[in-house]
Amino acid sequence: MPFPSRRLRGAIAAFGSALMLTAIAVGADPGDAQSAAKPSTQTAVAVFAGGCFWCMEPPFDKLPGVKSTISGYTGGREADPTYEQVSAGRTGHTEAVQVTYDPALVSYEALLEVFWRNIDPVAVGRQFCDVGNQYRSGIFTADAEQQRLAAASKTRLQASGRFKQPIATEVVAASRFYPAEDYHQDYYTKNPIRYKFYRSNCGRDQRLKQLWGPARQ
């Protein structure tokens, strides 16, 4: 029997996808902070897994310098996996987000900071209400520099003494990233009521506050 939270997400997503054919995604307000820096034509890509990908897009989207986020699947063995296959735990993949950003405006270290504060780093084989290896947390590095920075940030977090348990988040070389189905993309803007219902029932914000304190504005 599938875990109840997966049934809840599946029902919410299926109902929302039927309405999305006529929905218009709401664009994120980039804020005034970008006006102080000059954008470049250079882009870089980072991939992070923090449980439900619906919930991992918003914190990166609102960060100045981030150009886009894509929900998808990575770290497994199945080619072209579907949501049903991944959420059932049959592929080895985990839900993840691919972040495209301008390194002249936001650093990889800043992305790492946002990542850590939006996950439960000591949870093993789960994130919040979503249970299973398909919801494990991870940092999937594109090159040696990302690997060095990600590993160093994990080491610092463990040495900080904030957590008694070991940091469970994996830091591994990126493999192929498969974008999720269209109805999963920008779900929090296209289906805000259903997104908030899921997030609230999952207890994500309560656990994040317990781990990290009040959310940063």
The catalytic position among 52, 55, 129, 202 is 52
Phi (first) and psi of residue 119, to 5 degrees:
-135, 170
Phi (first) and psi of residue 73, to 5 degrees:
-130, 145
Work out the number of other CB atoms within 10 angstroms of the CB of residue 170: 15
Inter-residue contact 144 to 173 (CB < 8 Å): no
Q: In this structure, which amino acid lies at residue 135?
A: Y
Closest by Cα among 73, 119, 69 to 98: 69
Q: Is 52 a catalytic residue?
A: yes
The DSSP-derived string for 91-116 is SS-EEEEEEEE-TTTS-HHHHHHHHH
> Residues with catalytic annotation?
52
